[in-house]
């Protein structure tokens, strides 16, 4: 789960990281009022869960409350990378002398968290990582010992941070580590961390990604989930305990098991198709769950074919078949469906589905090829 910038920064602030004064607004009038409270010079920042808002025109400086109002009006009408802007953060504008990158994530290859920093912070850190990776300093963090003071100091030296900022930089790095660890995050990032015209350090942007599997330990963080910006289908899927991620292709996938679901998507691509979603119905899925999954897949207007790939173990073939039939009674659809069903009660499942006009397949390769063909209108 991604947190919005304003949520991430509020969290950072609890761990002692200095952030600009500011508040979030849903209307231009509110934005104007906040600008008045902050004394006029503000930055209006679209709150959408994608990076690169600045380049997309979603971050604008305003010199007066009136300008704040008109910029907020414009930004609140924008779509950024397909996401509608519903809120703006109105922050006191910072005078920026230098932009630094500071982030913590998990490095799977060394099986540890890693803190990364760069003196070339700002909007193009991905480009820096690609073109001049040596400009990004990395320090592994021991998961039990945490970030050590000497490590923060080493980083400060490596990014040529003037000595007068080392102490506060150390506090910020430690705060970021604490925020990361305490909230079971997979990413905590400040880009940019700026040296201001007043020669102080300030976290101007903030980003956090939380581990969904640990959210149950953080009810106060789960509440921050922004239902507005999630696809309706993903919200519906969560209600039924389905792991579902919407994608841009046209072949809907219903699979049991995350590994099998990924394999199915790979094989669809191998044969020239594009999956419309990732969907794991899980082990032992009931007919009700299967039926919900089918409804969710069919609610996507891009879907031209559906591939069912069910390996019956705990999940029973007949139960899956009954779920499909139940769903098809509610939803009229002419989307062609290809099914590969093996394992527990597969034969019975196939018998139940024989009446439903499904295309059957013996192997996954055959099923994927058939799905790709029918999606292309064959």
Catalytic residues, which ones?
A: 101, 189
First to last CA, the chain: 39
Residue 135 Cβ vs ligand GDP, minimum distance, rounded to whole Å = 16
Query: What is the three-class DSSP state of 339?
Result: strand
- Select from 21, 39, 52, 126 the one that contacts ligand GDP (CB under 6 A): 52
Q: Is 205 near Mn ion (CB under 5 A)?
A: yes
Q: Is 280 near Mn ion (CB under 5 A)?
A: no
Residue 195 Cβ vs ligand GDP, minimum distance, rounded to whole Å = 12
Tell me, what DSSP letter sits at residue 40? S
Query: What is the three-class DSSP state of 209?
Result: strand
The single residue listed with the structure tokens 């961390």 is: 193
Dihedral sign for Cα 229, 232, 236, 242, please.
negative
Q: Is 46 near Mn ion (CB under 5 A)?
A: no
Residue 12 Cβ vs ligand GDP, minimum distance, rounded to whole Å = 13
Binding mask 5-44 for ligand GDP (x = CB under 6 A): --------------------------------------x-
Is the link from the previous residue into 295 a cis peptide, with omega within 30 of 0?
A: no
The single residue listed with the structure tokens 């200095």 is: 18
Q: Is 91 near Mn ion (CB under 5 A)?
A: no
Q: Which is nearer to ligand GDP, 20 or 175 (CB)?
A: 20
Neighbours of 215 (CB within 10 A): 15
- Spatial separation of the C-alpha atoms in residues 63 and 73, rounded to whole Å: 15
Question: Are 89 and 165 within 8 A, CB to CB?
Answer: no
Q: Which is nearer to ligand GDP, 35 or 267 (CB)?
A: 35
Window of 67-75, 186-194, 278-286, 312-320 that interacts with Mn ion by CB under 5 A? 186-194
Question: Are 293 and 269 within 8 A, CB to CB?
Answer: no
Residue 54 Cβ vs ligand GDP, minimum distance, rounded to whole Å = 3
- Select from 53, 246, 304, 322 the one that contacts ligand GDP (CB under 6 A): 53
53 binds, among Mn ion, ligand GDP, none (CB under 5 to 8 A by kind): ligand GDP
Q: Is 191 near Mn ion (CB under 5 A)?
A: yes
250's tokens: 């046209």
217's tokens: 């330990």
| Mode of pairing for the β-strands spanning 88-92 and 42-46 | antiparallel
Binding mask 74-93 for ligand GDP (x = CB under 6 A): -----------------x-x
42's tokens: 């503000």
When CB distances to ligand GDP are compared, the closest residue is 54
Sites for ligand GDP among residues 159-218 (CB under 6 A): 191-192, 204-205
Neighbours of 237 (CB within 10 A): 23
81's tokens: 């990378």
Q: Which residues bind ligand GDP (CB under 6 A)?
A: 43, 45, 51-54, 59, 61, 91, 93-94, 96, 99, 122-123, 191-192, 204-205
């Amino acid at each position: 789960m991604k947190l919005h910038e304003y949520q991430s920064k509020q969290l950072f602030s609890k761990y002692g990281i200095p952030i600009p004064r500011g508040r979030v607004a849903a209307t231009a009038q509110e934005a104007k009022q906040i600008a008045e409270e902050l004394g006029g010079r503000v930055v209006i920042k679209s709150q959408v869960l994608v990076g690169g808002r600045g380049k997309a025109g979603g971050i604008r400086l305003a010199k007066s409350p009136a300008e704040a109002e008109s910029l907020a009006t414009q930004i609140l009408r924008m779509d950024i990378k397909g996401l509608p802007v519903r809120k703006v953060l109105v922050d006191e504008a910072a005078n920026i002398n230098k932009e630094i990158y500071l982030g913590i994530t998990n490095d799977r290859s060394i099986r540890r968290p890693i803190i990364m920093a760069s003196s070339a912070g700002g909007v193009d850190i991905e480009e820096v990582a690609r073109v001049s990776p040596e400009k990004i300093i990395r320090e592994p963090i021991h998961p039990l010992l945490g970030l050590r003071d000497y490590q923060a100091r080493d980083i400060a030296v490596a990014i040529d941070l003037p000595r007068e900022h080392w102490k506060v930089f150390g506090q910020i790095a430690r705060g970021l580590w604490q925020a990361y660890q305490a909230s079971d995050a997979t990413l905590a990032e400040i880009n940019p961390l700026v040296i201001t015209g007043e020669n102080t350090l300030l976290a101007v942007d903030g980003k956090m990604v939380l581990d969904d599997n640990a959210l149950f330990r953080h009810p106060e963080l789960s509440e921050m989930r922004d239902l507005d910006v999630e696809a309706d289908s993903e919200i519906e899927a969560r209600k039924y305990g389905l792991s579902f991620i919407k994608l841009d292709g046209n072949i809907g996938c219903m699979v049991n098991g995350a590994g099998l679901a990924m394999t199915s998507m790979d094989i669809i691509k191998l044969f020239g198709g594009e999956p419309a979603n990732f969907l794991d119905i899980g082990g032992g899925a009931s007919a009700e769950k299967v039926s919900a999954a089918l409804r969710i897949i069919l609610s996507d207007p891009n879907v031209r074919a559906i591939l069912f790939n069910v390996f019956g173990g705990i999940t029973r073939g007949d139960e899956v078949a009954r779920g499909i039939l139940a769903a098809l009674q509610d939803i009229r659809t002419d989307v062609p469906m290809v099914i590969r069903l093996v394992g527990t009660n597969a034969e019975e499942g196939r018998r139940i589905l024989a009446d439903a006009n499904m295309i059957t397949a013996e192997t996954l390769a055959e099923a994927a090829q058939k799905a790709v063909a029918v999606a292309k209108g064959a």
